[in-house]
Amino acid sequence: MKEYDVVIGLEIHAELKTKTKVFCSCKNEFGSKPNENTCPVCTGMPGALPIINKKAVELCIKAGLCFGCKISNYAVMERKNYFYPDLSKAYQISQLVHPLCIGGQIELASGKVMRLNRIHLEEDAGKLTHISKSVGTLVDYNRGGTPLIEIVTEPDFSSAEEVDEFLKRIREALVFADIANCKMEEGGMRCDVNLSLKEKGSTILGTRTEMKNLNSFKSVSRAIEYEIKRQTEVLNAGEKVIQETRKWDDAKGKNLTMRSKEEAQDYRYFPDPDILPIAISEEDIAKIASEMPQLPQARRQKYVEEFGLPKYDAEILTTSKYISDYFEECTKLLNSPKKISNWIMVDLLKLVKEQEEFVFPISAQHLVEIIKMVEEKTINKTVGIQLLEKVIETRQPPKSLADKMGLLVTISNEQILELLQKLKAENTKVCEDYKAAPEKVVGFIVGYVMKNTGGKANSMLVKQLIPEVFG
């Protein structure tokens, strides 16, 4: 039996986070009533003229900057002609010869570099809902004209794991930079997989198949595994893989022939005569670049190398830009990254884990104030957590709240010394034990003082004062 190398290329579509559609001013909104957000342009009425959404162009450029693409100074929107009921114009406005972003790359954890071919801007089609044979099919054009970016990769992937990691990198960057929501369950990010096998070590590529619109990380992985197995069986049986588009059925866990695959020439692309070419100056690019946030990968590196955090912490803290920004705001107020990380990961994240988009119920300033009080031992950690809950509940500043609630350590040195003297007088054994091996009874002595002060003494201070009485 022959062995094969797997060759995979991806086309990833992500809906851009704009208020309006890309070629008209209809709302770009998920979940509206069918055909509520439509107009003559996005329903393809004859003679309707498109405009172009500047924000969509900017977001596409921003995506290019995320992945190190070269940004074009000259880009052209083209018509991709095909008929389908969800595409009322019978052409999709897309880009072929002059895309907005060219090249780019993403490095995986293994160090393997995955090259991008391009990122271009285009529009989404409407949505068909097949009801039944007697009722027929319903069409909703709300999604028609929604701005999309298509990220096209080179065929650099050789496993489902590499694809999975890459898609997660793409998604986190697009979400972080506020380019797209990438809600896969709403179709906000979809992935087409081109896959072929070639004989191990050979440079001749095999025939590829395409699986379109995979809309979860899990189904991408399953579809790839299935197709590798299927093509291997076809080739091992001495047959040929047919170039085609295959539809992945996630419920059945298999794919089926959908149609023979079209090539670019089948679409008769040509520049859209209603939309002028887009000129992008270096100043435009510099302005967009200046608005880019630092991306998660760079932030993780900083957290590990500069802040000395474990990789695990760095991963969790960069799961959203909000958490990461919050964490960084805290570190600017208090230079104790690991302590801050612990508070966020252990005490804050559990409060918001049910939320779709995390928003902590306490400001960074107030959290840092609590952490400082614990560090300075004016309260202990347990009291700190109680205080955190109370601050969240009342929204009052921690210090004055702790004062009002009587949580602050208020025992003076004199009071501590007095208690130590009392213990010494009451318990001669402790004195003897202390002389023999101080480290063995320190805990007991501190415990005595804490018990007699309702836990309000500063334990560090007690330890410092013990030798004055017992030494």
The first and second tokens of residue 48, run together, are: 């309707």
Q: By the 8 A CB rule, do 7 and 198 touch?
A: yes
With H, G, I as helix, E, B as strand and everything else as coil, classify residue 99: coil
56 touches Zn ion by CB under 5 A? no
- Least distance (Å) from Zn ion to the CB of residue 145? 6
Segment interacting with Zn ion, rule: CB under 5 A, options 31-39, 303-311, 329-337, 376-384: 31-39
24 touches Zn ion by CB under 5 A? yes
**91-94 sheet: strands from edge to edge:** 91-94, 78-81, 270-271
Binders of Zn ion: how many residues, by CB under 5 A? 5
Segment interacting with Zn ion, rule: CB under 5 A, options 40-48, 101-109, 283-291, 344-352: 40-48
Query: Sign (positive/negative) of CA torsion 420, 421, 426, 428?
Result: positive
Q: Among 39, 102, 258, 280, which residue sits at the site for Zn ion (rule: CB under 5 A)?
A: 39
Tell me whether residue 42 or residue 52 sits nearer to Zn ion (CB atom): 42
The backbone torsions φ and ψ at residue 92, rounded to the nearest 5 degrees and listed phi first, read -105, 135
- From residue 301, alpha-carbon distances to 13, 35, 184, 295 in Å are 28, 46, 27, 10
Tell me whether residue 144 or residue 384 sits nearer to Zn ion (CB atom): 144
Q: Among 8, 16, 42, 235, which residue sits at the site for Zn ion (rule: CB under 5 A)?
A: 42
- Least distance (Å) from Zn ion to the CB of residue 26? 3
Tell me whether residue 8 or residue 42 sits nearer to Zn ion (CB atom): 42
The alpha carbon of 398 is separated from its chain's Cα centroid by a whole number of angstroms, namely 32
93 touches Zn ion by CB under 5 A? no
- Least distance (Å) from Zn ion to the CB of residue 273? 19
Please tell me the distance from the alpha carbon of residue 7 to that of residue 416, in angstroms, as a whole number: 73
Please list, in sequence order, all residues whose beta carbon lies within 8 angstroms of the beta carbon of residue 80, skipping any fewer than 6 positions away.
91, 92, 93, 94, 96, 122, 267, 269
- Least distance (Å) from Zn ion to the CB of residue 96? 24
Segment interacting with Zn ion, rule: CB under 5 A, options 42-50, 101-109, 292-300, 356-364: 42-50
Tell me whether residue 26 or residue 61 sits nearer to Zn ion (CB atom): 26
Contacts to Zn ion from residues 438-467, by CB under 5 A: none
Segment interacting with Zn ion, rule: CB under 5 A, options 38-46, 59-67, 233-241, 423-431: 38-46
- Least distance (Å) from Zn ion to the CB of residue 93? 13
The backbone torsions φ and ψ at residue 425, rounded to the nearest 5 degrees and listed phi first, read -70, -40
26 touches Zn ion by CB under 5 A? yes
Q: By the 8 A CB rule, do 420 and 465 touch?
A: yes
- Least distance (Å) from Zn ion to the CB of residue 91? 16
Tell me whether residue 53 or residue 194 sits nearer to Zn ion (CB atom): 53
- Least distance (Å) from Zn ion to the CB of residue 213? 23
Tell me whether residue 43 or residue 95 sits nearer to Zn ion (CB atom): 43
Tell me whether residue 45 or residue 405 sits nearer to Zn ion (CB atom): 45
Return the amino acid letter for 27: K
The alpha carbon of 326 is separated from its chain's Cα centroid by a whole number of angstroms, namely 15
Tell me whether residue 41 or residue 373 sits nearer to Zn ion (CB atom): 41
End-to-end alpha carbon distance in the chain: 82
Segment interacting with Zn ion, rule: CB under 5 A, options 17-25, 27-35, 245-253, 381-389: 17-25
- CB atoms inside a 10 Å sphere around CB 107: 12
- Least distance (Å) from Zn ion to the CB of residue 61? 23
The first and second tokens of residue 100, run together, are: 């907005």
- Of 357, 360, 333, whose CA–CA distance to 345 is shortest? 360
Please list the residues that pair with 257 across neighbouring strands: 246
Provide the angle, in degrees to the nearest 10, between the axes of the packed helices 160-176 and 296-305: 90
48 touches Zn ion by CB under 5 A? no
Tell me whether residue 24 or residue 148 sits nearer to Zn ion (CB atom): 24
The first and second tokens of residue 86, run together, are: 């969800």
With H, G, I as helix, E, B as strand and everything else as coil, classify residue 4: strand
Tell me whether residue 49 or residue 276 sits nearer to Zn ion (CB atom): 49
Interface contacts to Zn ion, rule CB under 5 A: 24, 26, 39, 41-42
